[in-house]
Structure 1
C-alpha cells in the first residue's frame, strides 16, 4: 500500500492523442500541431489504503509539468494511506508519519524539531527508508548506525534517537511488537575539545578593542558582548531581550525567550529559552551602565527590543555572527573568539571565583556535569599548594 507503478506520459491536442517526438507532433490524420498547443497527461496506478489499485493522472503544459503534478498528487495520496501503519509499511513512510504527527505538533523547541526533520530526511530515510517495518531487525539497524557513526558520530547519535522515536510510534500502532532500535548499541559521545575561555585580562583587552572599532560600535557588538559577559546568556537570548524584562532600578535582567528561524514561518521570538525556564540575573555595574545608556539612546520600537535591527525588528543570530567574523578579520588576535566563547568565559570565571554549582546555576544548566565538561576551561597551572607540599621534603 502507498506505492505506485510506472509513470507514463501522453500528449494531447483538443482532447485527441497526438504522435511524434521532439518539436514535431501531428494528429492521427496528419495535421501538424505546434508544441505549445499540446497538453500532457501523466498516469500511473496507485495502491490505496484499502488495498485496491486505482489509476491516477495529472495534466500539464509540458511532459515535466505533468509528471511533477502527478508526483504531488501521489505524495498526497501516499500520506493519506500512511496514516495506517502496518508491519509491511516502509520505514520512509513511518518517518514521514512520525514527523507530521509526533514531532511537528510537539512542544519541542524549534531547533530540535528542525534537527529531527533534517536528520530523518537526509540520513535515516535515504539509508533505511526502503525497509519494511518487519525487516527492521536489530542487526540491520546496528550495522547502519555503526557505519554512520564511523563517518558522522554526532549525526548518527541523533539518527538513533529518531529511529527510537518513530519505531516507538510503530509499536503504539501495533505494527510491531517491540522497538528494535532500543537494542542498538548507543553511539558514544565524541571526545570534546579542551574548553577555551577568556580570562579577565583578555576580556578587558577585547572590550577595549571593540570600543575603538567604529564598525563594531555601529553594529552594537560591544553592547551585545557586555550583556553576554554580564549574564552568560546565548546570543539568541540577548537578541530577544526586551526592555520590559530589564529592571533598571533593581539591576536585574530577565531572560525569557530567544530568537529563532523556522522553515515556512520565518524569524520570530520564541517565548522560551533553551532551558525552558525564565532566568533572572543581578547585573554588574559595567553592563548596567550600558543598559541605562541604551535606554536613553535607542528607540524602543514596536517590539520593545534592547537590541533591535535597523528597521526596529528582530536581529538574527547568524547575522551577528557574520558581523563578528568581519570584526575578527580586522583584528586577527581574536580569530578564535565566537559569541559562544563569552558564555564559556562566564562559566569559567564563576567556577573559579565560587564553585561549579554556582557556574551551572549562572548558565541555567540542570546538571553541573554539563558545565564542567563544556563550559569551564581547565587552568594551565594548578593552585599554589607549595607550603602544604613542602613538608614532604623536611
Structure 2
C-alpha cells in the first residue's frame, strides 16, 4: 500500500489485480467525516477517479451522485419542494401532472440520478416530439425536469444538473390570430341571447384573459370611477374551481371601464338579481359577477364551449381562448394606441412581450405614426 501525500488518501493494488483508491472527506450536507472508495483496472484510472471525487468534495459537492431513481426523487419533490414553493396553485397542479404523466414511470424516470446524462435529457426531449407532443408541452416538461434536478443539486444528490446542459426546447412564434371589427360583431351577434354572451362581450371590450373575467367579483367593479380591478384568475386546480393569483404581478391591474362594457355589466347585475329571487334558498352568494343560475362560479370550460359554438355559427375558423384578447389588442394598436398603454391594459409582464406577440401590427402602427408626423408638419 502506498500512502499519497497531502492527505489525498491511499492508493493500492488488490490481489485480483484491480487498483483501489480511498480518502476521507467532510460531507457538505451533514458535516460528518466519511470515507469514499474508487476502483480501477489500472493505477491511472483509479487515481483519476480519486482526483475527480476529491475535486467534488473540495467544491462542496457530493463525492458521488445518488443512486435514487429520477422517478422516486420526482415523487418526493412534488410533495416537498414543489408544494412549499411560491408558485401559483394552478402552476403546482400543472407541474405535478406533467411530472406524473411524462417523467414518473417512464424510462427516464427509472434512470438513477448518478447515471442521468445530458444526452439522456436530449433523447427524452426527442421522444416527446416523436410522440407528437405540442412544442409548448415539450418545453413545459423540460422546465419541470430541470426544476426537479435543480432541487437534486441543492439537496446534494448530484453535483451538476444534466438538464441545465441541454438547450431549452423552443416554441415557434406565430402571429396571434385576431378578428376584424366586422368579425367580432358577427361573433357577438352569434352569441347574443346565450348565457355566456356577456362574458364574450367583456373579453372583446377589455382584452382580459378568460380566467380574469370569470374571477371578477362585484367589489372589483367601480362604476363611479369607471374601473375594473383585476385581482385574480379563476380556473380548475385539482378538479376544483378556485381563484388564484394573477399570471404575473403586472397582471394585477386596473382597467378603464368603457361605457359599453359598463352597460354589459349592469345588465348582468340585473339578470343576477332576478335569478337570486327565483332561486330563493338555493342561491349561493359568492359575489362573482358571472355565475350560474344558482350563484356558483362559471366553469371556464363552459365559456370556451360557448365561444366555440358562437364562432361556428358565425362561420369563423381558428377562434380560440385568446382570440378576443388578441383582437382587442390589435384594434387598440391599429387605431394608434401607444404600445405601452396596450401592454398595461393587457397586463403583460413587459412591453417587450406585447411587441413580440403583436409584431404583425408594427407596419400598420408605424405607418399611422409617420402619417401623423407628416400631418403635424403640414405635409400633404
Q: Could you tell me the TM-score, scaled by structure 1's length? A: 0.68
Q: Equivalents in 1 of 2:138, 2:187: separation in Å?
A: 38
* Displacement after TM superposition at 1:379 (Å): 7.6
* Displacement after TM superposition at 1:207 (Å): 3.1
Given the superposition, is the C-alpha separation of residues 330 and 172 from structure 1 closer, same or farther in structure 2, using an over 3 Å criterion?
Answer: same
* Displacement after TM superposition at 1:252 (Å): 0.8
Please show how residues 359-370 of structure 1 align to structure 2 within 5 Å: 359-370=342-353
Is 2:194 the counterpart of 1:252? Answer: no
Match of residue 114 from structure 1: 93
* Displacement after TM superposition at 1:341 (Å): 0.8
Unaligned regions of 5+ residues in structure 2, if any?
A: 1-63, 277-283, 375-380
From 173, 179, 198, the counterpart of 1:198: 179
Is 2:271 the counterpart of 1:297? Answer: yes
Is 2:152 the counterpart of 1:170? Answer: yes
Contact 1:268/1:314 (8 A) holds in 2: no
Please show how residues 340-351 of structure 1 align to structure 2 within 5 Å: 340-351=322-333
Is 2:196 the counterpart of 1:220? Answer: yes
User: 1:316-367 deviations in whole A, cap 9, x for unaligned?
Assistant: 1101112222333433x22432342111011112223223222211111112
Unaligned regions of 5+ residues in structure 1, if any?
A: 1-84, 212-216, 389-394
Match of residue 211 from structure 2: 236
From 304, 310, 315, the counterpart of 1:321: 304
Is 2:81 the counterpart of 1:105? Answer: no
Contact 1:344/1:376 (8 A) holds in 2: no
Q: Equivalents in 2 of 1:365, 1:349: separation in Å?
A: 17
Moved more, 322-331 or 129-138: 322-331
Please show how residues 175-194 of structure 1 align to structure 2 within 5 Å: 175-187=157-169, 189-194=170-175
User: 1:277-325 deviations in whole A, cap 9, x for unaligned?
Assistant: 5211111111112222333332275111111112210111101112222
Q: Equivalents in 2 of 1:379, 1:103: separation in Å?
A: 40
In structure 2, the residue corresponding to 1:157 is in which secondary structure? helix
Please show how residues 43-82 of structure 1 align to structure 2 within 5 Å: none
* Displacement after TM superposition at 1:377 (Å): 4.7
* Displacement after TM superposition at 1:202 (Å): 2.9
* Displacement after TM superposition at 1:380 (Å): 8.9
Is 2:319 the counterpart of 1:337? Answer: yes
Query: Runs in 1 of length 4+ with deviation above 4 angstroms?
Result: 379-382
Match of residue 339 from structure 2: 356
Given the superposition, is the C-alpha separation of residues 238 and 375 from structure 1 closer, same or farther in structure 2, using an over 3 Å criterion?
Answer: farther
Given the superposition, is the C-alpha separation of residues 246 and 330 from structure 1 closer, same or farther in structure 2, using an over 3 Å criterion?
Answer: same
Given the superposition, is the C-alpha separation of residues 317 and 174 from structure 1 closer, same or farther in structure 2, using an over 3 Å criterion?
Answer: same
* Displacement after TM superposition at 1:238 (Å): 0.9
Is 2:138 the counterpart of 1:138? Answer: no
Q: Equivalents in 2 of 1:184, 1:254: separation in Å?
A: 41
In structure 2, the residue corresponding to 1:104 is in which secondary structure? helix
Q: Equivalents in 2 of 1:336, 1:200: separation in Å?
A: 16
Contact 2:108/2:120 (8 A) holds in 1: no
Contact 1:104/1:113 (8 A) holds in 2: yes
Q: Equivalents in 1 of 2:293, 2:342: separation in Å?
A: 35
Q: Equivalents in 2 of 1:236, 1:159: separation in Å?
A: 23
Q: Could you tell me the TM-score, scaled by structure 2's length? A: 0.70
Q: Equivalents in 1 of 2:296, 2:360: separation in Å?
A: 36
Q: Equivalents in 2 of 1:249, 1:357: separation in Å?
A: 25
Contact 1:197/1:377 (8 A) holds in 2: no
Contact 2:333/2:361 (8 A) holds in 1: no
Match of residue 383 from structure 1: 367
In structure 2, the residue corresponding to 1:254 is in which secondary structure? strand
If asked which structure has higher relative contact order (CA below 8 Å, sep 6+), I would say 2
Given the superposition, is the C-alpha separation of residues 156 and 328 from structure 1 closer, same or farther in structure 2, using an over 3 Å criterion?
Answer: closer
Contact 1:167/1:179 (8 A) holds in 2: yes
